[in-house]
Amino acid sequence: MKIIFGLSLVASSSAFHISPPSTTTTTTTRLFVATTNDKALFVDETRASVSNYYGKELSSSDDLKTNACCTAGSPPTYIQECINNIHPEVVSKYYGCGLCLPQYPLEGAKILDLGSGSGRDVYIASQLVGPTGKVVGVDMTDEQLEVANKHLDYHTEKFGFGNVEFKKGYLENLGDLGLEAGSFDVIISNCVINLCSDKEAVLKECLNLLKPGGELYFSDVYSNRRVPKSLQEDEVLWGECLSGALYWNDFENMAKKVGFTDPRLVEDAPITVSSADVERTISESGNDSLDFYSATYRLWKLDLEPHCEDYGQAVIYKPKSCCGGGIERYPSGWLLDKHHFFEAGKIHPVCGNTYKMLHDTRLKEYFDFVGTWDHHYGIFEGCGSSLPYTAVNDATGDKGASTGGCC
Ligand SMILES: C[S@@+](CC[C@H](N)C(=O)[O-])C[C@H]1O[C@@H](n2cnc3c(N)ncnc32)[C@H](O)[C@@H]1O
């Protein structure tokens, strides 16, 4: 299989240099060279090829070869209304894989979008946070940033305010961008972290930039088993957001290690590889059982416990009333994650971690809380460790029926 890529590596005695991306035709195989510089080389090479893919190879979502970086699923009406206000060029260059905006009021919030691309999600967030909020998008690819910046004035005029800024940088080095530590309410990202060569570094940067009680809410691609190195070396598969995907359990363990102690899966969907070429590459490598999923996780910056512990606590999502109640758009109930839908007015027993996710965050005003931390009743029943996603063959089934996850 041949594709257009322009990486060429030139060896010197002590280092390898990458020439700027061009549009030369080469094979899909990445060049891995056994030196102590392997990691640095891998990082540089990955960034250059991803940048080339999103900057030069693709001109719109239609050019993608799989639906990994562009899963459908119609957004809620209020998000669709925001999308309708966004410049068509920005919308046409959307390469996300899910809805990465948390579904609670965001007025006045400060949001960071990792790998903001041409800016669709930034411009949605801009409308949701309003004139008192702020949205920063970070991306490394000039062509993507150019489109995002080109339409700044259009959106300022359309929305009646300007609260958006795009920065050029690497997600593994967010600390270089002058962003204030502990200053973001929410960090979002849409189909980007799988493309990063050092995913742990990205998660660490996020933890540093979030406010206490803030969250990383993001959609990305994961697999049901580790992606073999031979496939990771395929630039199309990486660019299409497949072969850089983490095995779900490696991701969850990585998140915990970094300090996001209780990662919560919000929703997931199997990815269909609709390209015969891509399918053949995977099959010929002997990996027919390798499945990919798009999944949205929420990772809170909270002092949580490694397991769901029971303190006899409960929460009640406030029913609609004359003086407020729950979140206006969700009068019947609200979904925290795949295992927690809080029906309005009903008493829901929760573990200590879930209690904190609702009590020590922006969600507090929408719930009533029952109980204290005075008495521990043991582990909260039902924590699991099998594949948390709804299996490929069962994707139409009950979303809450997974065996994995907590509580
Ligand atoms: C699949 S696109 C998604 C873009 C955007 N989030 C959207 O939904 O349209 C991935 C984006 O991540 C950016 N990206 C990938 N790796 C990156 C890195 N290490 N640092 C900064 N940006 C990166 C690419 O330049 C590209 O714009």
Q: Which residues of the chain have pLDDT under 70?
A: 1-39, 41, 62-73, 383-385, 393-407
Say yes or no: CB of residue 361 within 6 Å of ligand 1.
no
| pLDDT value, residue 385 | 58
| pLDDT value, residue 37 | 62
Residue spans per domain, the chain:
2-57, 66-300, 313-401
Which CATH number applies to 66-300? 3.40.50.150
- pTM (2 d.p.): 0.86
DSSP string, 256-314: HHHT--S-EEEEEEEPP---HHHHHHHHHTT-TT--EEEEEEEEE-S---SS-B--SEE
CA of 238 to the centre of ligand 1 (A): 12
Tokens 């005075």 -> residue: 374
Say yes or no: CB of residue 121 within 6 Å of ligand 1.
yes
| pLDDT value, residue 177 | 97
Task: Name the architecture of domain 313-401.
Answer: 3-Layer(aba) Sandwich (3.40)
Q: What amino acid occupies position 161?
A: F
Residue 89: how many CA atoms within 13 Å on its side-chain side?
A: 13
Atom of ligand 1 nearest to the CA of 115: 12
Q: What amino acid occupies position 28?
A: T
| pLDDT value, residue 264 | 97
Cα distance between residue 371 and residue 369, in whole Å: 7
| pLDDT value, residue 41 | 67
CA of 15 to the centre of ligand 1 (A): 27
CA of 233 to the centre of ligand 1 (A): 19
| pLDDT value, residue 49 | 81
| pLDDT value, residue 16 | 24
Instruction: Give all strands (DSSP E) within 12-96, no chain letters.
Output: 16-18, 25-27
CA of 68 to the centre of ligand 1 (A): 13
Protein residue whose Cα sits closest to atom 11 of ligand 1: 115
Instruction: Provide the token pair at 233.
Output: 């070396």
Atom of ligand 1 nearest to the CA of 189: 6
Atom of ligand 1 nearest to the CA of 100: 8
| pLDDT value, residue 396 | 52
CA of 52 to the centre of ligand 1 (A): 11
